[in-house]
Structure 1
Amino acid sequence: MSGAVGREAVFPTRQSLGLMKSKLKGAETGHSLLKRKSEALTKRFREITRRIDEAKRKMGRVMQIAAFSLAEVTYAVGGDIGFQIQESAKSARFRVRTKQENVSGVLLPQFESVIAENANDFGLTGLGKGGQQVQRSRETYARAVETLVELASLQTAFVILDEVIKVVNRRVNAIEHVIIPRTENTIKYINSELDELDREEFYRLKKVSNKKQRDTAAQDAEILAKRQQEAQQAKAEESKGDVAVTATEEQAPSDVLGQEDEDVIF
């Protein structure tokens, strides 16, 4: 996998190597953070899935009871009381409040049901007959609406978390299988090129050093030979001087007073 992603087109320098190492460290840190975020979101997603299953089962039971209570009201009153309820209800008794929950940086909306106690909706309905059945049916449908609001909140969070988890997992896979291997291959390439440059530089310095040593040795040998030649020349000149002095001494008279001079009269 790492060989298939290739490497980045960078010039192999020390600066590029430092940048790639910083990028690799950042990618590893980001991968770790995104991995933990994905795990936290997945855990919450599974919890919401379990709660949705429970809410749906509860919704089925509550709606079944509500349907039976409505049938009891219809039987007790003797007809449909929907028109009377619509005429009696002036203000909403059941309200929905919205808030947000932060889960690893993801804002999930939550719906809460609020019942206004002071609202007197269809308070006179069922005075003639069927009053208890009407009250019981109203409470049953209130619980059904509360369960419906809870289910809507869970379903909304389920959809949002599903999309966010997909995006986070794609980012985690991209960092793990593309960015990190490509950066590692780039670092390996830069290290290999720098090692090759170091070997070339070492070889060049070694060649230069050997050439300097050879040049120095040749110069030393030349100087030594010149000194020896000068010494031989000086010795030869000294030998010639000694020979000349000896020849002069042999040509000179051994005793000046021993010579006879006719002009000298004693």
Structure 2
Amino acid sequence: MASTQVTPTRMELTRLKKKLVTATRGHKLLKDKRDELMRQFLDLVRENMALREKVEAGIKAANKNFVIARAGMSGEVLKTALMMPKQSVELQVGERNVMSVDIPVFETKTRTADANDIYSYGFAFTSSDLDGAVKSLADILPDMLKLAETEKACQLMASEIEKTRRRVNALEHVIIPETQDNIRYITMKLDENERSSQIRLMKVKDMMLEDAHHYKERQA
């Protein structure tokens, strides 16, 4: 149903036709964006699931190694060995744009370039099981950061998909049908006014012809 606030003029009709063209083009672009977001979102979800399984398995293995190391060492020696960490990791957060969504990108930078520089204790009073536990945690750290990155990316893309879906629905079910109804309403009104004008002109013409005919009869 056409809006009662629409003014049935040719200028308004031209404006609504331009609006309809823009809305139709925007609807197509938003649908394409939504479909591409969904595709990339599903890829991220699959990657996230694989990373989560890998990280959970790595943490489980590291905990198992620490339990074994704790069984072969006293609690005081273990606490002393891990009290002062030797290596430090700096986290740098960047961004990359995916379909107008700013997704975080995590990069790490260690204090020293040596990947084996992770043991903060001497090897004389500790067991090799502790070395394996520390190494397993160090190995799983990049995957943990990648997991955090993909989970945040999934959250942001899900939010953008929802916003895009609402915009597509608003265009498809509200704006475009309403504009089409208004165009039909104005077109009908303009056609009606044109027919009325033609009828009035025909009546005026008939009156003029009749007056001219009577005038000629009087002249005769």
Normalising by structure 1, we get a TM-score of: 0.75
The C-alpha deviation readout for 1:170-223, integer Å capped at 9, x for no partner, is 111011100000000000000000000000000011111111111122222222
3-state SS of 2:217 partner: helix
Equivalent in the alignment of 2:210:
214
Superposition misfits of 4+ residues, deviation over 3 angstroms = 75-80, 113-124, 132-135
Q: Distance in 2 between matches of 1:113 and 1:90?
A: 16
Pick aligned residue for 1:101 from 89, 92, 96: 96
Q: What root-mean-square deviation, in Å, do the aligned CA atoms of Structure 1 and Structure 2 show?
A: 2.0
Map 1:69-108 → 2, pairs under 5 A: 69-79=65-75, 80-87=77-84, 89=85, 92=88, 94-108=89-103
* Distance change >3 Å, CA 176–CA 47, structure 1 → 2: same
- Contact 1:112–1:150 at 8 Å: present in 2 too? no
Pick aligned residue for 2:28 from 28, 32, 45: 32
3-state SS of 2:3 partner: coil
1:21 aligns to 2:20 (yes or no): no
Q: CA deviation at 1:97?
A: 2.1
Q: CA deviation at 1:154?
A: 1.1
Equivalent in the alignment of 1:232:
none
Q: Please identify the structure whose Cα radius of gyration is greater.
A: 1
Aligned pair count? 217
Runs of 5+ unmatched residues, structure 2: none
Range with bigger deviation, 187-196 or 146-155: 146-155
> Greater RCO between the two (CA within 8 Å, min separation 6)?
2
1:111 aligns to 2:110 (yes or no): no
Q: CA deviation at 1:49?
A: 0.9
3-state SS of 1:127 partner: coil
Q: Distance in 1 between matches of 2:23 and 2:177?
A: 10
1:45 aligns to 2:36 (yes or no): no
Equivalent in the alignment of 1:189:
185
Q: Distance in 1 between matches of 2:38 and 2:113?
A: 42
Taking every aligned residue pair, what percent have the same amino acid on both sides?
Answer: 27
- Contact 2:87–2:110 at 8 Å: present in 1 too? no
Pick aligned residue for 1:167 from 158, 163, 169: 163
Runs of 5+ unmatched residues, structure 1: 226-266
The C-alpha deviation readout for 1:125-161, integer Å capped at 9, x for no partner, is 323342x433332221012222211111111111111
The C-alpha deviation readout for 1:23-47, integer Å capped at 9, x for no partner, is 1111111111211111111111111
- Contact 1:77–1:129 at 8 Å: present in 2 too? yes
- Paired amino acid for 2:181: N
Equivalent in the alignment of 2:123:
126
Normalising by structure 2, we get a TM-score of: 0.89
Equivalent in the alignment of 2:137:
141
- Contact 2:69–2:129 at 8 Å: present in 1 too? yes
